[in-house]
Amino acid sequence: MPEPNFIKRIFIKAYAGQLRKPKGIFALRVGNKMNELNSYLYDISIDKINPEDNEAILEIGFGNGKFFEKIFAKAEDLKIYGLDYSSEMVKAATDNNKSSVNSGKLFLKCGSSDRIPFDDNFFNKVFCINVAQFWENPSAHLKEIYRVLKPGGKFFTIIRTKESTLMMPFSKYGFTAYTAEEWEIILKANNLNCINTSVITERPVNLNNGDYKLESYCIISEK
């Protein structure tokens, strides 16, 4: 019989994979858990993104899409686009936002951000929340983000601090933890100039029967 620690490691590794790309029978449950973990962080992030009237905004990794209405509430005549790696999340987000999709103000696609299916110089702002730590080759994604941003457009990387990432048990499976300085260097290497970095202190969250006090960076860069 496998030892309990071995079974626990298998479970944690599987959970890490679901966070990267929710799929199968656990996809909806994982999507709801991500909402629970990221709700406060999302609210603070939207304030920092500061949507303005008539902008085109892209979110990479939108999960089940429960937070799109919070963005629409911030400005008039927004066009919001979403790209997610999980087909299950795209379906769930479409179901959760039928009115916005049907009215033509929300556009959702399944795919990877190293091949963004939108035109050059298209978006005023691009953002992702707790997604960049999954990118095996960040430059491939950042080059695409640079391509689709309008001149002067902004990219918002919201990502947990290195200390917060490493304290979570699943972080050793497919995660890359960054300091703010490390991420700023990567941005600059891909022609995105960092203009502001701030730290968001989150509310305590419960994950895998453990309580965590987490912090995240909001790193704003510009094309």
Q: What angle do CA 47, 43, 56 make, to 5 degrees?
A: 55
User: What pLDDT does 172 receive?
Assistant: 61
SS3 64: coil
User: What pLDDT does 167 receive?
Assistant: 77
User: What pLDDT does 53 receive?
Assistant: 98
CA dihedral 85, 88, 91, 96 (to 10 degrees): -100
Q: What is the pTM of this model?
A: 0.83
Per-10-residue mean pLDDT of the chain, 223 residues long, equals 42 43 50 65 93 98 90 97 91 93 96 97 96 94 98 97 80 77 98 97 71 88 98
Domain 4-222, what fold?
Rossmann fold (3.40.50)
Which bin fits 104, alpha (ψ -120 to 50), beta or left (φ > 0)? left
User: What pLDDT does 169 receive?
Assistant: 63
